[in-house]
Amino acid sequence: MTTITSHDNAQLKEIRKLTQRRSQRERAGRFVAEGEDLLAAADAAGWEPVQRFCAAGSGLAGTEVEPKLLSQASGIASGTRAVAIYAERFTDTPLGPVCVYLHGVADPGNVGTILRGASAFGAGSVALGPQTADPYSPKAVRASMGAVFEVPLARVADGELDRLPGTTVALVADRGVPLAEVEIAGPVTLLVGSERDGLPAEVVSGAGTVARIPIANHSLNAAMAATVALYELSRMAR
């Protein structure tokens, strides 16, 4: 097996493209995960990589790459010893019994954290609405701590809210009933909006229920609100 030693190597170029641009990921239907912990999470979840790379001399599995070149290609903190390319997976039908629908959650760190919360509290899927960060972007994948390999993802376009499973509960900041008081029987989809602007009015008005997380001061970001709401739904279901 030869070690990749050139910056211009076609495979390193692919890694760079996939980490840098959403359009490249969507065109290729592929993404990159970096670091031994994430790759182990993918393995544990049964994801076979398209290709696996490792730092030359690391003794890890994969095509060997000059360590410095591997770090540069992945664009993450220096010292990454393992990188792999995976095929993106999207499910056609957002699944319950609990689904989280994201609308305008533009920060990839928040999307990744929500995936982690969704996995922790046993959500059936995360549905990605308009203006939402790519769950397969490097920041989202990292923030998910591997949950991106565990929670089914679906894409939902504007006007397709009827594809979401069960009762819809719009999470808003300043109106609605406290979430703990919502009566829920059967599947439910939480609708979560952007930190700055919340959910669009038409999404809220189309929801089955409008609910809030009661807070004393300040605000919660989208990831904190979604995590708390997922906790509350799982508590109520117990």
Q: By CB under 8 A, name the binding residues for its own copies.
A: 113, 116-117, 119-122, 145-147, 150, 178, 180, 213-221, 223-224, 227-228, 231-232, 234-235, 238
CB 147 → its own copies: shortest distance, Å? 6
Please state, in angstroms and as integers, the Cα–Cα distance from residue 58 to each residue in 54, 101, 146, following that order.
7, 40, 22
Is the separation of the CB atoms in 30 and 24 below 8 Å? Answer: no
Contact 181, 235 (CB under 8 A): no
- Residue at 71: amino acid letter: S
State in angstroms the smallest separation of the CB of 179 from its own copies: 9
Cβ nearer to its own copies, comparing 146 with 166: 146
Residue 214 CB burial class (10 angstroms; 0-12, 13-18, ≥19): exposed
10/218 with CB nearer its own copies: 218
Q: Which is nearer to its own copies, 50 or 173 (CB)?
A: 173
The smaller minimum CB distance to its own copies, of residues 28 and 45, is found at 45
User: CA-to-CA distance for 122 and 106, rounded, in angstroms?
Assistant: 23
Q: Between residues 13 and 235, which has the closer beta carbon with respect to its own copies?
A: 235
**Shortest Å distance, C-beta 123 to its own copies:** 9
Nearest to 226, CA basis, from 157, 147, 138, 136: 147
CB of 238 to its own copies, least distance (A): 7
- The least CB distance from residue 220 to its own copies, in Å, is 5
Residues 94 and 147: their CA atoms lie apart, in Å, by 16
At its nearest, how many Å lie between its own copies and the CB of residue 231? 5
CA-nearest of 109, 105, 104, 121 to 188 is 121
Structure tokens at 37: 């912990």
